[in-house]
Chains A and B, each alone.
Chain A
């Protein structure tokens, strides 16, 4: 009698990439919901534009690369990249800015490097950095909270850059809390002065602290479900907290407190959802800690002394570069090997 010969293993726990990506997307929902609560429709429009662009780019690239389209398109990896990018970009970013960033992320950063699993740099962060460097003025269009814009008004803002009420975009947008600290300090204000602005809340940016809380919830769920390790998020947040703590203790008038650093901007989102991208992160237990501490330190350095509104994207890409070396030198001691 003849039998089928399988090449895969005979037993499997049924884990698959699609399920992992889907669960990571679900874990983003609390944060996105709170974002929607404070800032309205804009985030959903951001996400829609990014996801549609990503799916189109992914399909075209898969066809050009002669890869099966449906299996890869349905693995949610492009969707996840798009959603993370949409969350990182300003809430009132023009549609073309979102599209350019997404196209660059999917086509250049992902597929030209070999597609899923082969990209050395985090695609979402590559897309973000490209538009950040190319269109800096558009990257400051962060919607002010509680504007109560209707869906149509928001769509118009995204696509025509004018308000239906005749309001100029500038009157409803502002810099991010992190960016405004930098600007304020350059005008010789103290941190305490800057924090009196309405864009700040109790511990971080107004509204942003709650959004960060939502992402924290989702992120902890992923750690609990063992879909991500604790090493990257906690090392990154820990290193930012420590270095920010040291500087703000030494000179509280010129250095923002650790809480502002953790609960403003995309720190929590990055720690749980972006730095943990397994493809581009270090893969050894010790390496992941080093990698995440590096991201934390670079983020703080670029935020505090650099020339850009936020430093996370650059920090992630810088540490992506170091990953092969980190991985090589942080191999765990194998079973039975002599103690080092």
Chain B
């Protein structure tokens, strides 16, 4: 028996009502094929994918429909067979409620699939080849941020990663999709983790799971013993929100703090979500790209709460209607959890790769309007980043974007603990998001103007340089000429030859001059007229001006 692992804690955090059992009562529902699939080209952090299909094309399930553009980007695949009915701007699930470029597929219902290329012995594959495979499968972090997974499987300059940490905390209330996945597909997850370990050449792996998921914990633990795997450790951690935050989870499991302006990689740790492991397994074992995911449908505004496999691109309204619809009193729809999710104004948006939960609530707690901050510091006491939210708020409210950075705005993980406890009901996180966006915009503008100034300075420098080079060339030429002159004076023969040549030129010039004058070869009469004119001219100019 192994001694229990020493666990650390992080500052602040909250004990929140879980509401998880609401959606874990039944086995997960299978994916259904909706009327149409809306696939945004950007479902991940980085550059949007570029379409490789045209309107009217017939595509098969698993077929590439948009390729990655640039390094931080992943491709997109057709979730099922059908016709590309449109490529246009559609509403995507985003707090801004703005439209974004999407490929729309009208499924034909046959679910014909393209031939998938499985890898049977990934251990023999080079880690970089494995990463390419994971990239080509369009896999991004399924925990919520959606960062391309293959990048986080690249150990960079490090040869060895000390720890691969699998985030199975799922700390936000209501969300249970990872819990359900662990209960139902523990083997896929464990094998996916092994693939990740190989790609990273990680020495050790820890799965961190909150102690409110005993079923998932034992499912994973049983799988580990069935497969007799010893280098993956599964650790139950106390249920404190936000233990599932990457930095917080690493702290709890290892005691290490990933640097404030750095990455976990800097301390030899890489962290991946547990659902990502399952999709990596499918991508390697079966060659199956990421075309569906587990999503939680929950809240008192939903008739049949539960977890479902959902095809990426499935419209939320169609999915919810397909699964029993809304409670008549529903008022509010949140994508994500109640702490970090965002309110949707409409349900006519698709499920995307990062959608982990849809939370429908009947009566949004009628919270009183925000009143002024009294600096009580309740927010500070719960901030897991050890920030001073009250000071950040004050500076963000005053739009002092320098000061707000002095208070380490960019260390804020937007977990929402501060807003949860604020007795003045101030939506604090929104102020921080606002300040971050403003600062990013300012930095972008500054970069642009810096670039313009730099270009201008380069141009001036180039002109000056060219001028100097020209002057230098001239000077050299002159010097060379002078040198050759003085050399020539020593050589009489040469000088004479030059003089003779010059004389010839003069002679020729004279001849040419006389040739081109129109007063040559005049008749006597013409000459006479000219003389008369000249005389008249002379006379008129000599005439005194007396009037």
Residues of A within 8 A of B (CB): 1-17, 19-20, 71-72, 75, 115-118, 229, 278-279, 281, 283-285, 327-328, 331-338
Contact = CB atoms under 8 A, between A and B. Distances in A.
Given A10-B338, A12-B420, A336-B247, A1 B373 contact: no
21 contacts: A3-B347, A5-B345, A10-B364, A12-B422, A12-B425, A15-B423, A16-B423, A17-B424, A75-B371, A115-B372, A116-B371, A117-B375, A117-B424, A283-B391, A334-B387, A334-B411, A335-B386, A336-B257, A336-B262, A336-B411, A337-B260
A118 B334 contact: no
Most buried by A among B317, B331, B373, B384: B373
Given A15-B421, A118-B372, 10 more contacts: A3-B333, A4-B331, A9-B420, A10-B365, A12-B422, A13-B421, A17-B374, A334-B386, A335-B247, A337-B408
Nearest to B385: A335
B10 to A, nearest CB: 7
Binding site of B, secondary structure by majority: helix, strand, loop or mixed? loop
A327 B390 CA distance: 11
Contacts of B338: 9-11
Given A278-B374, A331-B407, A334-B387, A20 B423 contact: yes
B78 interface: no
Nearest to B343: A5
B139 interface: no
B343 A6 contact: yes
A1 B343 contact: no
B56 interface: no
B345 A16 contact: no
B347 A1 contact: yes
Contacts of B378: 15
Contacts of B257: 335-336
Nearest to A5: B343
B385 A9 contact: no
Contacts of B10: 335
B365 A20 contact: no
Interface in B354-413: 359, 361, 364-365, 367-378, 380, 384-388, 390-391, 406-408, 411
A279 B375 contact: yes
Contacts of A10: 332, 334, 338-339, 341, 343, 359, 361, 364-365
B435 to A, nearest CB: 16
A9 B429 contact: yes
B423 A336 contact: no
Contacts of B427: 7-9
B419 A278 contact: no
B498 interface: no
Given A278-B377, A283-B388, A1 B317 contact: yes
Nearest to A20: B423
Contacts of B384: 335
Contacts of A229: 377
Nearest to A68: B369
Contacts of A332: 386, 388
Most buried by B among A1, A10, A279: A10
Contacts of B376: 20, 278
A278 B374 CA distance: 6
Nearest to B241: A11
A339 to B, nearest CB: 10
B347 A117 contact: no
A10 B407 CA distance: 26
B16 A71 contact: no
Interface string B103-142: 0000000000000000000000000000000000000000
A5 to B, nearest CB: 5
Given A10-B341, A334-B386, A334-B408, A283 B377 contact: yes
Contacts of B495: none
B416 interface: yes
B259 interface: yes
Interface of B: 10-11, 16, 173, 247, 251, 257-260, 262, 317, 326, 330-334, 338-339, 341, 343-347, 359, 361, 364-365, 367-378, 380, 384-388, 390-391, 406-408, 411, 416, 419-425, 427, 429-430
B347 A19 contact: no
B266 to A, nearest CB: 10
B407 A9 contact: no
Contact of B339 (A11, A279, A331, A335): A11
B371 A17 contact: yes
Contacts of A334: 260, 385-387, 408, 411
Nearest to B267: A336
B247 A16 contact: no
Given A10-B338, A13-B421, A335-B384, A3 B391 contact: no
B432 to A, nearest CB: 12
A16 B368 contact: yes
Nearest to B333: A3
B423 A19 contact: yes
A221 B260 CA distance: 38
Given A1-B326, A283-B375, A334-B386, A8 B425 contact: yes
Most buried by A among B334, B377, B380: B377
Contacts of B385: 334-335
B386 to A, nearest CB: 5
A118 B374 CA distance: 8
A75 B347 CA distance: 38
Contacts of A7: 427, 430
Contacts of B334: 10
Closest 4 CB pairs of A and B: A117-B372, A9-B419, A336-B260, A10-B338
A334 B367 CA distance: 31
B380 A283 contact: yes
B371 A3 contact: no
A13 to B, nearest CB: 6
Contacts of A20: 376, 423
Given A1-B317, A10-B361, A16-B423, A284 B346 contact: no
B339 A117 contact: no
A33 B423 CA distance: 29
Contacts of A338: 259-260
B411 A335 contact: yes
A331 B377 contact: no
Most buried by A among B262, B331, B343, B370: B343
Nearest to A332: B386
A17 B343 contact: no
A278 B334 CA distance: 34
Contact of B422 (A15, A279, A285): A15
Nearest to A11: B338
Contact of B416 (A9, A16, A71, A115): A9
Given A11-B338, A283-B380, A336-B257, A2 B346 contact: yes
Contacts of A75: 371
A264 to B, nearest CB: 30
A334 B332 CA distance: 35
Contacts of B346: 1-3
Nearest to A281: B375
A153 B169 CA distance: 69
B388 to A, nearest CB: 6
B393 to A, nearest CB: 11
Contact of A12 (B332, B365, B388, B406): B365
Contacts of B365: 10-12, 14
B397 to A, nearest CB: 11
Nearest to A276: B376
B391 A17 contact: no
Contacts of B374: 17, 116-117, 278-279
B367 A8 contact: yes
Given A1-B346, A278-B377, A279-B374, A16 B332 contact: no
Contacts of B416: 9, 11
Most buried by A among B173, B380, B411, B425: B425
